[in-house]
Amino acid sequence: MSITRVLVANRGEIARRVFRTCRDLGIGSVAVFSDPDADAPHVREADRAVRLPGAAAADTYLRADLVVAAARRAGADAVHPGYGFLSENAAFAQAVIDAGLTWIGPSPEAITAMGSKIESKKVMAAAGVPVLGELDPAALTADDLPVLIKASAGGGGRGMRVVTDLDQLAAEVERAQAEAHSAFGDATVFCEPYLSAGRHIEVQVMGDGHGTVWAVGERECSIQRRHQKVVEESPAPLVERVDGMRDALFDAARAAAKAIDYTGAGTVEFIADDAGRFFFLEMNTRLQVEHPVTECTTGLDLVALQLAVADGERLAQDPPVPHGHAIEVRLYAEDPAADWAPQSGVLHRLAVPGVTSEFAVDSAAAGLRCDSGVGDEATVSVHYDPMLAKIIAWAPTRAQAAARLAAALAGAEVHGITTNRDLLVNVLRHKAFLAGDTDTRFFDEHDVFAPLVADTAPFALAAALAIDAGRARTLDVPSGWRNVLSDPQSLTLGGHEVRWRVTRDGLQGHDGVELIRAAPHEVVLDVDGVHRRFAVHRYGELVHVDTADGGARFVIAPRFVDPSDQLAAGSLLAPMPGSVVRIAVEVGQRVTAGAPVLWLEAMKMQHQINAPADGVVSELPVVVGEQIEVGAVLAVVEPDAATEEDRQ
Amino acid sequence: MTVLRTAVDPASAEFAANRAALLEKIADLDTEHAKAVAGGGEKYVTRHHDRGKLLVRERIELLLDPGSPFLELSPLAAWGTDYTVGASVVTGIGRVNGVECVINGSDPTVRGGASNPYTLKKVLRANQIALENRLPVIGLVESGGADLPTQKEIFIPGGQMFRDLTRLSAAGIPTIALVFGNSTAGGAYIPGMSDYVVMVADRAKVFLAGPPLVKMATGEESDDESLGGADMHSRISGLADYFAVDEQDAIRIGRDIVGRLNWRKHGPAPKPDPAPPLHDVEDLLGIVPTDLKVPFDPREVIARIVDGSDFDEFKPRYGASLVTGWANLHGYPIGILANARGVLFSEEAQKATQFIQLANRADTPLLFLQNTTGYMVGKEYEQGGIIKHGAQMINAVSNSTVPHLTVTMGASYGAGNYGMCGRAYGPRLLFTWPAAKSAVMGPAQLAGVLSIVARQAASARGQQYDEAADEQMRNYVEKQIEEQSLAPFLSGMLYDDAVIDPRDTRTVLGIALSAVHSAPVQGATGYGVFRT
C-alpha cells in the first residue's frame, strides 16, 4: 500500500475507529483537535496530532484549509474524513486531492452529485431508482400533509422538520433554514411527502473504481428520534420478511452507485413501507455511524476496504455472505424524558460489561463491541454531537443479539451525565421490537421512557452504606457507634432520606433487608431473601449505584445549608449549557406565566425559557451571546404576591 | 510478641448461664439508657419539636462528624433518685470537624433543662475530663438555670461551672457555646465565659435579668429581645460572635469554628492499622461468672480487647494473682494490670508498684481491669507488711502521671478499689460492666462484721444477744449494701463514667485512648516516699 500516514479529519469514536485499522495495517496516524478536545482519547491515540485553535466546529473541524495544512505539516499522505463535519464536502475532497494527498472517499463529483438532495433525486430517478416526488411548499394543500422539510445539504436530522399543519409551514421552513444554515452553512431546504410510519432501510455499498460495486448488506435504522438513528441492525427484519425485497434493494443500491461512478464506501438510504415498497431518500457518500453492524455480520473491515480502494486496489468479485445478526445502539448524552434534551458535563465513567472488542472486526459468531469516543472523566461539551458510544452485539439470531445487548446496557456503568441508556434497554426488550415490528414512529407509539429501576429505595440505602463505609476513620470502631442509642444515622440522597443504624445485631430500620457487606465500592444486601449486589461510585456529591438490572443516581444533599448560598425564589436556571441568542424582556418588565423570557441555543437547537409565573423580572444577569453553564441563573421573575385565597 | 490463646468453651453450660445472666443485665441497662433518651417524655418532646426545635441528641448528631463514634458519659446520672435518669443533660466525647471534643448539651424537655445536683456533678465531671485530656468543650445551651427547690445544693458549688470554663480557656482549651434558648441569670455566664459564642435568632435569650426583674429593680420597661436576643448580642453587646438564622445554622457555624481552631493532639499518634483481637468478642459475655466469688482469668478478657490478642506479660511467675503486661489497643501502647484471683498479696502489690513505675518511664498509659476483693488480711500477711506493700502500690498509682483507664469487670472491694485505680485515684475515664459490684467489703462480710461487733457489745454488757433481731439486721444490711454496690447505683452517683456492654470494651477503650492522647502523655518523675 502506498498510503503510509492517514490524517483523520474528525474526532471522537470515528477517529478512533479509523486509527484502529491504521494500527492494524501498520499505517501511521494523525489526529486533529479543537481546544476542548485537547485531551480526548482520539488525540492521545494518534501518533501525531495537530491543534485546530478554537472550539466551535466552524472554527476547527469544518476548516478545510486548516485540516489540509495539518496533514501537510504532520506528514500525512492520505486524509480520512470520518462522518459528519467535512465528510460530504466536495470542496474539501478536492482540496485534499489538490494538495497531492490521497482522499479516502468517493470523488468530489460523486459527492456533489449526491450533496444536493434535490438534484440527487433527479439523478436517481433517471437511473431507475424509485424516488418520492418533491413538493413545492408554496403549492401545498392539506391533502399533501404531513410533509417533511429537509436541508438539502443536511444529514443527522438537523434542519429537518415535520409539518402537519399548513399554518405552521412558513415558520417551520424558516426554522429549518436557520438550523440548516447554522449546521451546514447552506440554508437550502426542500419539501417531500412524509411517510409517518415508514421504515428506514439502507444498503452498504462499496465501489472500487474498476467496475465492481458491492451491495454488502442492508441495515434497518427505523428507530429514530428527531430524525436521528438510535437503533440500527443488520439484517433488516422487514427485508428478511418480504420475499425478493433484498434483491430489489441491492439492485437499486448498485444502480444508484453506478450512476455516479461511486468509489469507496457509501450508503444508499431508502424509506420503505410494511409491504416492502421502498423509495430512495439519499445517498451518504461516506462511512456511516452504523457501519459496525455490517462489519459484525460480514467480518469485513470497511475502513480497511476504504483505504485499499483509495489506494487503487480492486475488490473481489462478490462481497462475503453475511451471517448472524448484529444490533447497534447509540448511547447519547440526552434525556429522552425531557424531549431528548442534550446533556453536557463530565462523563465520569463509561463501563460496559462483557465487551469483547473495540473498534474492531471480530469474526467470532457472537460478541459485544464498543466504539466509544470518550474516556472516563471526559467533558461532553455543547460544541459537538452528544453521542458517547456505539455498542454493538452480534449473535447467530436477532433475539440472542438483542438479549446480549440489553443485558450489557442494563449492567453498564454510565456516570455523570444523563443518557438514553434506560430507553435503549427498554427498546431492546420491547415486544414490538423483538417482533421486528419497528418503524420511524416507534417512540410515538411505544412507551419506553420508564427508568429501568422503579424502586430506587434499596439503591439509596446501598449508596448510604457505601458512603458510610468510605468515610475516613481515625479509629477503627463501628460506624456511628453509640453506647446510648438514640437517633439513627441519616443521609439525604436525592429524594430519599435514608435512616439506618448498624449494630452488632445487623442493619436496623429496614424490614426485610439485611446487610451482607458494605465497602466503599460494593454493597451486598439481602432483600427479601435474595442477595443483591450494588456497585457504588462516588464523584464529589454525585453517587451512582449500579446493578445488573439498571442503576440509580443520587446527589448527596448537604448536611447544612449556608443561608448566604440560597437562591432567590423565581430564579430561572439554564436547563443545559448553551449560549443566549435572544432576550425578550428587561429588568422591571411584567411577564405572564409561560411568556418567553429568553432563548438559549445549545446543540444547534433553540430552547425557549419561559416565565414560571406571573410577575416582574427582577434580575437579568445574562447578555446575548453569553456562554451559559447548566444551572446558571438566567433571570429572576419575582412572582406576584399570592392572594389571600391562594394562601388558604 | 505473645499471642494469647483461649481456654474458653462457648459450648459449656457454665458459659451459657453466664451469658444469659449478663444479657439480662445488658437488657436492663438498655432500658435505663432509654429512660435518659426519652428525656422529659413524649409530651415535652412533642412540644419541643412543635416549636421547631431539635432535641438535644438530635443537635449532637448534627454536630458530630457523620459516622464517627460518640461516647456518652454518665448516661445513668441520677439513677435511683427522684430526678430523671441522665440528669437533664447529655455529655460525651465525640468528633466534630475532625477534632475530639467534650460535648455538653442540656435537655430542655426535662424541666426546661434546669440543673439539679446530679446535673451539676455530671457537667463538672465532663469539664474535668476536658481539662485533664485537653479536649475542646462545646456547650449546647438551653437551660432554665438552677432547679430552684434544690438551689441550696447547687447554687454555691455551681459557680464552679463558670470557673471551669475560664480555666479551660486559660489552659488553652477552646470553649464554644451554641446558645439555642434560655441562658439567663447565672446561666448567662456560660456564653459569658466561653471563647466563642453562637446565638440562634429569635431563640437565644441571654440576660442577667428578664423584663419582670428589670422592672422591679429599676422600673425600666424592656423585652426579651432587647435584653438578650441573638440579634442584639451580635450587633450591640458583642456577646454573640456569630448570629445563626436557625438551629442547624448554629451547628454549622459551631463546626466551622472547630475546623478553624488549628487543633493538634499533643499525645503520640497510634500505630497504624491495628489488628483486631483474634478471639470472638462475643465470648466476653460468657467469661464472667454470675457469682463474683468465682475468679476468672483476665487474659481471656485481654485476648478479646487488645490488638491481635498480642500481650507480653511482665513477671508472670511472681505475684500471679495480678496479671501485668504490655499490649496495644487500637494502636496505642498500654500497660495492663488485671486481677486474676481477686486477692492482692504483698507480691502482687510490689509487682504493681514496679510495673506502674516502668510504664511511667516509658510514657505508656495504663489500663486497670478490676476484679478484686481487696488486699489479703490475716496475721501472716499483716506481719509480712501487707499495709506497707499496699501503700507502695497506692503511692505509685496516686503519683503516676501517665493516663489511667479503669474498667470494673467484676468485684471492686476494699482498698483493692484504691490500688486498682478506683474513682478516687483519678483515672481519666472509668467504665463498669453491668454485673460489677463495688463496696468497702462484700455485703455478707459487712453484715457479718456488724453482727460480730454487736454480739461482742452485748456480751460485754452481759446481755442476751437477740438472734432474731440479728438475723433481721443482717438481712437488711446485706440487702442495702448489695443494692448500693450495684453498677447502676454507683453510676447514678457518678462513680463511673458509664456502664458499658462488655462487648463494647475495646471500642470504648479505643475512643478513650484516642481522647486522652489529645493531651501530652508523660510519665511521673517523682513519687511519695516508698515505705520499705
H/E stretch holding A180 reads: helix A166-184
From CA A539, how far away is CA A546, in angstroms rounded?
A: 14
User: At residue A626, what are phi and psi to the nearest 5 degrees?
Assistant: -70, 140
- Shortest CA distance to A46 belongs to which of A84, A82, A8? A8
The percent of residues in chain A predicted with pLDDT above 90, rounded, is 66
Cα torsion through B57, B63, B65, B69, rounded to 10: -30
Name residue, grid cell 468543650. B137
Q: Do A471 and B67 touch (CB under 8 A)?
A: yes
A65 near B CB under 8 A: no
| Cell numbers linked to A491 | 443521609
Task: Give A236-255 as a DSSP string.
Answer: -HHHHHSTTHHHHHHHHHHH
Cis peptide bond N-terminal to A235, omega within 30: yes
pLDDT tens track, chain B, 532 positions:
899 999 999 999 999 999 999 999 999 999 999 999 999 999 999 999 999 999 999 999 999 999 999 999 999 999 999 999 999 999 999 999 999 999 999 999 999 888 999 999 999 999 999 999 999 999 999 988 888 888 888 889 999 999 999 999 999 999 999 999 999 887 889 999 999 999 999 999 999 988 988 888 888 999 999 999 999 999 999 999 999 999 999 999 999 999 999 999 999 999 999 999 999 999 999 999 988 889 999 999 999 999 999 999 999 999 999 999 999 999 999 999 999 988 999 999 999 999 999 999 999 999 999 999 999 999 999 999 999 999 999 999 999 999 999 999 999 998 999 999 999 999 999 999 999 999 888 888 888 888 999 999 888 998 888 889 899 999 999 999 888 999 999 999 999 999 999 999 999 999 999 999 999 999 999 999 999 8
| DSSP-based three-state secondary structure for B274 | coil
Please state the ipTM of this predicted complex: 0.94
| Chain B contact set for A558 (CB, 8 A) | none
Nearest CA in chain B to A501: B67
Numbers of helices and strands, H then E, in chain B? 20, 17
From CA A271, how far away is CA A129, in angstroms rounded?
A: 12
Q: Can you give the pLDDT at residue A644?
A: 38
Q: How many residues does chain A have?
A: 648
Task: Give B356-384 as a DSSP string.
Answer: HHHHHHTT--EEEEEEE-EE--SHHHHHT
Q: Do B501 and A483 touch (CB under 8 A)?
A: yes
> Average pLDDT over chain A, rounded to whole?
91
Long-range (24+ apart) CB contacts under 8 A made by A226-230 are A226/A157, A226/A160, A226/A340, A227/A157, A227/A160, A228/A156, A228/A157, A229/A200, A229/A289, A229/A290, A229/A330, A230/A329, A230/A330, A230/A332, A230/A420, A230/A423, A230/A424, A230/A427
* Residue B515 neighbours by CB under 8 Å, 6+ apart: B71, B93, B100, B129, B133, B135, B428, B429
- Shortest CA distance to A553 belongs to which of A443, A418, A409? A418
Confidence tier at A306 by pLDDT (50, 70, 90): very high
| Chain B contact set for A476 (CB, 8 A) | 274, 276, 330, 510
| Cell numbers linked to B43 | 409530651
A564 near B CB under 8 A: no
A468 near B CB under 8 A: yes
Q: Do A483 and B251 touch (CB under 8 A)?
A: no
| Chain B contact set for A480 (CB, 8 A) | 66-69
Confidence tier at A643 by pLDDT (50, 70, 90): very low
From CA B131, how far away is CA A503, in angstroms rounded?
A: 32
**Amino acid sitting at position A215:** A
| Chain B contact set for A481 (CB, 8 A) | 69-70, 504, 507, 511
Q: Can you give the pLDDT at residue A645?
A: 39
Q: Name the residue facing A483 among B66, B276, B498 (closest C-beta).
A: B498
Going from the C-alpha of A501 to that of each of A38, A332, B67, B276, the distances in angstroms are 47, 39, 10, 22
Tens-digit pLDDT profile for residues A412-426: 999 999 999 999 999
* Residue A531 neighbours by CB under 8 Å, 6+ apart: A516, A524, A525
Q: Do B67 and A468 touch (CB under 8 A)?
A: yes
pLDDT greater than 50 at residue A646: no
Nearest chain A CA: its distance from B51 CA (Å): 19
Q: Give the pairing type, strands B404-413 and B366-372.
A: parallel
- Shortest CA distance to A93 belongs to which of A256, A210, A264? A264
Q: Do B504 and A471 touch (CB under 8 A)?
A: no
pLDDT greater than 80 at residue A540: yes
| Chain A contact set for B37 (CB, 8 A) | 484-486
Q: Do B508 and A483 touch (CB under 8 A)?
A: yes
- Point out which residues pair with A225 in neighbouring strands: A228
pLDDT greater than 80 at residue A363: no
Q: Name the residue facing A482 among B70, B251, B514 (closest C-beta).
A: B70
Mean pLDDT of A170-182: 83
Q: Do B57 and A486 touch (CB under 8 A)?
A: yes
Query: Are the CB atoms for A284 and A264 separated by under 8 Å?
Result: no
Tens-digit pLDDT profile for residues A15-28: 999 999 999 999 99
| Cell numbers linked to A595 | 411568556
Chain B residues with CB-CB distance to A under 8 A? 30, 33, 36-37, 57-58, 61-62, 66-72, 75, 95, 98, 245, 248-249, 251-252, 255, 274, 276, 330, 498, 500-501, 503-504, 507-508, 510-511, 514
Query: Are the CB atoms for B49 and B55 separated by under 8 Å?
Result: yes
* Residue B377 neighbours by CB under 8 Å, 6+ apart: B386
Tens-digit pLDDT profile for residues A480-511: 999 999 999 999 999 999 999 999 999 999 99
Confidence tier at A568 by pLDDT (50, 70, 90): low
Nearest CA in chain B to A505: B282
Question: Is residue A47 left, alpha or beta, with left meaning phi > 0 and alpha meaning psi from -120 to 50?
Answer: alpha
Q: Name the residue facing A563 among B249, B274, B511 (closest C-beta).
A: B249
Sign of the dihedral defined by the CA atoms of residues A556, A562, A563, A569, in that order: negative
| Cell numbers linked to A95 | 482540496
Nearest chain B CA: its distance from A539 CA (Å): 18
Q: Do A480 and B68 touch (CB under 8 A)?
A: yes
* Residue A115 neighbours by CB under 8 Å, 6+ apart: A88, A90, A153, A285
| Chain B contact set for A563 (CB, 8 A) | 245, 249
- Shortest CA distance to B422 belongs to which of B320, B504, B490? B490
Burial class of residue A512 in the structure, from the number of CB atoms within 10 Å of its CB (0-12 exposed, 13-18 middle, 19+ buried): exposed
- Point out which residues pair with A590 in neighbouring strands: A616
From CA A480, how far away is CA A471, in angstroms rounded?
A: 11
A484 near B CB under 8 A: yes
Mean pLDDT of A442-460: 95
- Point out which residues pair with B312 in neighbouring strands: B326
Q: Do B514 and A474 touch (CB under 8 A)?
A: yes
| Chain B contact set for A473 (CB, 8 A) | 67-68
Nearest chain A CA: its distance from B431 CA (Å): 12
Q: Do B66 and A478 touch (CB under 8 A)?
A: no
Name residue, grid cell 486533529. A32
Mean pLDDT of A305-334: 96
Mean pLDDT of A182-195: 81
Hey, which of A397-401, A577-581, B216-220, B483-487 has the most confident mean pLDDT? A397-401
Nearest chain A CA: its distance from B57 CA (Å): 7
Nearest chain B CA: its distance from A549 CA (Å): 30
Q: Name the residue facing B69 among A475, A487, A559 (closest C-beta).
A: A475
A474 near B CB under 8 A: yes
A vs B, Cβ pairs < 8 A, gives 79
| DSSP-based three-state secondary structure for B134 | coil
From CA A539, how far away is CA A516, in angstroms rounded?
A: 24
From CA A62, how far away is CA A84, in angstroms rounded?
A: 9
Q: Name the residue facing A476 among B249, B251, B330 (closest C-beta).
A: B330
| Chain B contact set for A560 (CB, 8 A) | 248-249, 251-252, 255
| DSSP-based three-state secondary structure for B386 | helix
Rg over alpha carbons for chain B, rounded to the nearest Å, is 25
